[in-house]
Amino acid sequence: MHDTRDPLKLRGLPQLDPPGDAWAALEARMQPKPRRAWPWAAAAVLVLVLAGGLFLDRDMPLPDRPEDPELAAWITYSQVLEEQLRSVRGRTAAYRGHQAVAMAELEDMVAAIDASLARAESDELRLMLWQQRALLLDDLVAVHAMGHLANDGSDQPTPIVTRIPVTLASNSL
């Protein structure tokens, strides 16, 4: 078969190096920034609890109590979102195809992060994983909420999603 791939030799273009010390830049971005993010995380958790009338599930197995307040906040936030999920899951009978696919993908990613968390040996990695977990759960709640609203348009639905401020997510990851 005649190969029409790359007739203009784009592969011949040079490889490019990122400017500056790219590893240092990445490392800096992966560093936890507890002082800056903590008040936002606390506020986000509080808003969630108040808006949804939720209480933390006391039976939920807790990880070791972290010293780092930011890590503690992300863990708490993650638990609140799980509670939200439990609450919305029972309300919706069916989802549209793309919603079901999105939920399955998000749940797979959360499961993968849980597996990573079980093996994580550094606090830095734990923090990064808990952040990602919470953000994925946040998305998962949002997808469930869309399904709930679409299926239950006649009722006045309880506000079940309060998104964490974008600044928190982008500052901390």
Partner 1 sequence: MTESSFAQPVPDEWIEAARRGERSAQEALFRRFQRPIYTLALRICQNEDDAMEVMQDTFIKVFASIDQFKQHCPFWGWLRQIAVNMALGRLRKLRRREFTVLGNPPDLTPQRPDDQLDLAGAFARLPAETRAVVWLYDVEGYSHREIADLFGNSVSFSKTQVSRAHARLRELLDGPSGDPLCTTPATL
* Least distance from partner 1 to the Cβ atom of residue 79, Å: 19
With left for phi above 0 and alpha for psi between -120 and 50, is residue 20 left, alpha or beta? Answer: left
Residues 6+ apart with CB under 8 A from 137: 78, 81, 82, 85, 110
Please check whether residue 165 is in contact with residue 40, taking contact to mean a CB–CB distance below 8 angstroms.
Answer: yes
Handedness of CA 60, 137, 35, 29 (dihedral sign): positive
Please check whether residue 151 is in contact with residue 94, taking contact to mean a CB–CB distance below 8 angstroms.
Answer: yes
Using CB under 8 A as the binding rule, the residues of this chain from 76 to 135 that contact partner 1 are 109, 112-113, 115-116, 119-122, 124-125, 128-129, 132
* Least distance from partner 1 to the Cβ atom of residue 129, Å: 6
Q: Is 2 in the site for partner 1 (CB under 8 A)?
A: no
Q: Decide whether 56 or 120 has the Cβ nearer to partner 1.
A: 120
Q: Decide whether 27 or 152 has the Cβ nearer to partner 1.
A: 27
Q: Is 8 in the site for partner 1 (CB under 8 A)?
A: yes
Residue 147: CB atoms within 10 A of its CB come to 22
Residues that bind partner 1 (CB under 8 A): 3-13, 15-19, 22-23, 25-27, 29-30, 109, 112-113, 115-116, 119-122, 124-125, 128-129, 132, 173
